[in-house]
Copies of this chain bind each other. A is one copy, B any other.
Amino acid sequence: MTAPLHEVHPTGSGRRLPDTQQGMRRRNLSRVMHTVNAEGPLSRAAVASRIGLTRAAVSTLVDELIRSGLLEELGPERPGRVGRPGSALAISGHGPAGIGAEVGVDHLAVCAVDLRGEVRARAVRHGTNRGRPPEPVIQELTTLIRQVIAEAEREGLWPAGLAVAVPGLVARDARTVVRAPNLGWHDTDLGALLPGELPLAVDNEANFGGLAELWLGEGTPRDFLHVSAEIGIGAAVLVDGGLLRGTRGFAGELGHVPIHPEGPECPCGGRGCLEQYAGEEAVLRAAGLEPGEDRVGLLAQRAAQGDTEVRRALREAGTALGIALTGAVNLLDPETVVLGGALSGLAPWLLPSLEGELARRTAGPACAVSVSRLGPEGPLLGAAHSVVRAVLDDPAGAASRA
């Protein structure tokens, strides 16, 4: 294999590849992919000029990426221009796909996203998973995963990896669910239950939601706090475009920040945690509603209809979120706070009191709060895109698994 002699760093790459000649080649493959992804379609010459390598070096890299199915040629580019027409390169829509999966408290979902970022296949099963043991749940999820992979393969894609979002704490091995109180799971090695043939990454749903916001949100900064909720309340702490994971992988547990230290007991062992005031079940209780399956939909519908009890309950949840976020903003100084997941659908009724609390408790200008457009789709999309990003960051690694 020919290796170019110049070393160039990939843009947008989270990982740093090893500092050998082989590592240089892999970094340059990544640089080509990221450049075509950001600015394509582009000719070989245009790629070469953008990344500062010779046209010959870039051609060697591009040929390898085309052979692996990661790039494709669209045919002659801008034929009216002077000189031999270059063939325009684009990210392939028939190469690797990222398989994202989500274990929700009330649903399972799987999707396949191609390297261009398009969702190409999808499957969902509704029904509660609360209190069910991991084995049958993951067996059902595996059925959906196999359906989605089969559908993607019919479209000419092949699965490059599987990423699974779960509503709980995940160890840094990216396999073990240490604690998912709303499912009733603890110390569960999902790696042993999921299909073994694909590279696997299990992560907290708030983390994948935060990454989705970073990658797919409009104008998202590189330092922000992403707050999301399913039954629990979680946060993803993004620092300079990377996730802050914590020593054990448990960072971002905003739902267990104490906001009234002598408040009600929380299953986490604490008292007066945010989740006791702003979690879905606390809000339903405060609004005098029964927990059903589409809890957020019910709250949004009633609030939109002007139900004063529901509006009051959401206002108080916003206040509680504002108190916890004041602490988080003081500790982390993010550029913005983004409300994602289920919270995004309730934002119209949460935001006034939430922002009011942040403003009232902050001497300077309060931290800006925005609402995710991805909403409840965030974690699933974040999971699938994490596989796609891994391919862009190390195309050679993905090709070797093809």
Q: Give chain A's interface residues, CB within 8 Å of chain B.
A: 7, 9, 19, 179, 221, 223, 235, 237, 239, 244-254, 256-261, 267-271, 323-324, 326-328, 330-335, 360-364
**Cβ of A362: which chain B residues have Cβ within 8 Å of it?**
268-270
**Cβ of A7: which chain B residues have Cβ within 8 Å of it?**
19
A269 engages B239 (CB within 8 Å) = no
B257 engages A327 (CB within 8 Å) = yes
Closest to A248 in B: B333
Give the distance in Å from the alpha carbon of A239 to the alpha carbon of B362 in the complex.
25
**Cβ of A179: which chain B residues have Cβ within 8 Å of it?**
363-364
B261 engages A260 (CB within 8 Å) = yes
Looking at A9, A335, A363, the one whose CB has the most chain B CB atoms below 10 A away is A363
Closest to A367 in B: B247
B246 engages A334 (CB within 8 Å) = yes
30 contacts between A and B (CB under 8 A): A7-B19, A179-B364, A221-B247, A237-B332, A239-B239, A244-B332, A245-B333, A247-B333, A247-B334, A247-B335, A248-B333, A249-B333, A250-B330, A251-B331, A253-B330, A253-B331, A253-B333, A254-B330, A254-B331, A257-B326, A267-B363, A268-B361, A268-B362, A269-B361, A269-B364, A270-B326, A270-B360, A270-B361, A270-B362, A324-B327
Other-chain residue from B221, B244, B258, B327 in contact with A244 (beta carbon distance below 8 A): B244
Give the distance in Å from the alpha carbon of A258 to the alpha carbon of B331 in the complex.
11
Closest 10 CB pairs of A and B: A246-B333, A269-B363, A257-B327, A270-B361, A253-B330, A251-B333, A250-B333, A247-B335, A256-B330, A261-B323
